[in-house]
Structure 1
Amino acid sequence: MLKSVNRVAVGAAGLVLIGVGGAVLAAGLGLSVPHWWPFDGRDDVLLSAADRGRWRDEGWWWPAVIGSLAVLALLGLWWLLAQLRRARLSEVLVDSGDGEGALLRGRAMEAVLTGEAQAQEGVARARVALTGRRSAPEVRMALMLEPHAGPGEAVARLAEGAVEHARGSAGLARLPTEVRVGAVRHGGSRVQ
């Protein structure tokens, strides 16, 4: 979802900036602009002194300006924090029995899960991503199956094999897994 929000926000901001910037440039160069455009000459300003002071005496003006700026600042901060948040889990906390625990690299666990999933019969490719918290990891997996493989059988073998091995190895009580299954493209066979 974050990718689509980013694309929409950047696209909308870009369109607004291109439109306003182009119209300001056209007016500044003395080209024709629409009649409703707030300024139309090289020496004209976007907001005159009368326009800037028009709403100052109104009681709602300053709360509205401060409120809208605060909302914009909070949205910008939320967007920045969302960009900095890591989508993948970098390490998994393994209970070593000594009270301190050990850390398992997330990429290593992903690589093992990927290798074990791809070794199954009927699986052409597998992609694995660890998400969640380091004390409660979750697995997101995409399987591309060969044309002859059944999705139900492949997912069942995956749950009994690779996922169960990873859960047991890391000493986790549970390892929630989301599996998306697709099929590789294949050409039809020719009969002669």
Structure 2
Amino acid sequence: MHKVLRTVNRVLLGLIGLVLIGVGGTVLFGGFDLPRKWGSGLPSGWRWARPDDVLLRDTDRTRWTGHGWWWPVVIAALAVLVLLALWWLLSQFRRHRLSEILVDSGDGEGAQVRGRALESVLTAEAESLDGVDRARMRLTGRRTEPRLRAGLALAPHAEPCAVVARLSSQTIAHARTSAGLERLPTEVRLRAVKHRAERVS
């Protein structure tokens, strides 16, 4: 899925870039009066062929303004475009979950392990550590170079440094060994669990 999204992003960026380059080049071509200077003719009725041409003519700008539906439609369309652009921009910075990991099976061919399966194992082992109340694991990166984001909710008696040390020496080390990974870069986020006060009679 991640590869498909990456391919779609590249295709969209390429198409948008080509359209912008084409339109911008056409406007500059006419704005600098290059057709007359170079003696190259443009098709009759071609827009932006002379420096005094405008991007939008009066007839184009005012064709539908007299209709009551025009401005609501324009505003709604622009709002949708802005929201789509923001969603697309934010999706570029979002770290996608890794669906599978390529494991060195020792026979030269390798094997694939589901990312969610490894995340479940990591979560269960992390939650078994002393001082960890809850854990959440997320694999990102590439299938040959995975990265781990670990979110740990610490119990009241937990010592953060000791918890991180046990996570590194036990949970992450076991994951590296079982998956045949030389390294598994990990980002750990800690937070304390807030327990509700109980009345003692």
Normalised by the shorter chain, which TM-score bucket? 0.5 to 0.7
Q: 1:112, CA displacement in angstroms?
A: 0.3
1:130 equivalent to 2:139? Answer yes
Q: 1:178 to 1:60 in 2, by over 3 A?
A: farther
- State how far apart, in whole Å, the 2-side matches of 1:178 and 1:116 are: 17
Q: Name structure 2 gaps, 5 residues minimum.
A: 1-47, 56-80
Residue matched to 2:180: 171
- State how far apart, in whole Å, the 2-side matches of 1:172 and 1:123 are: 25
Q: 1:57 to 1:146 in 2, by over 3 A?
A: same
Note the alpha carbon deviations across 1:131-158, whole angstroms, 9 max, x for none.
0000000000100001110111001000
Residue matched to 1:184: 193
Q: Name structure 1 gaps, 5 residues minimum.
A: 1-54, 63-71
Q: 1:113 to 1:151 in 2, by over 3 A?
A: same
Q: 1:61 to 1:173 in 2, by over 3 A?
A: farther
Residue matched to 1:113: 122
- One-letter amino acid of the counterpart of residue 172, structure 1: L
Residue matched to 2:40: none
Q: 1:96 to 1:159 in 2, by over 3 A?
A: same
3-state SS of paired residue (1:175): coil
- State how far apart, in whole Å, the 2-side matches of 1:60 and 1:186 are: 70
TM-score w.r.t. structure 1 length?
0.57
TM-score w.r.t. structure 2 length?
0.55
Q: How many residues align?
A: 127
- One-letter amino acid of the counterpart of residue 126, structure 2: A
Q: 1:57, CA displacement in angstroms?
A: 5.7
- One-letter amino acid of the counterpart of residue 104, structure 1: V
Q: CA RMSD in A?
A: 3.3
**Structure 2 residue aligned with 1:96, among 105, 109, 113?**
105
Q: 1:98, CA displacement in angstroms?
A: 2.1
Q: 1:186, CA displacement in angstroms?
A: 1.9
- State how far apart, in whole Å, the 1-side matches of 2:127 and 2:90 are: 35
Q: 1:57 to 1:113 in 2, by over 3 A?
A: same
Note the alpha carbon deviations across 1:151-184, whole angstroms, 9 max, x for none.
1100100000110000110000000000000010
Q: 1:56, CA displacement in angstroms?
A: 8.5
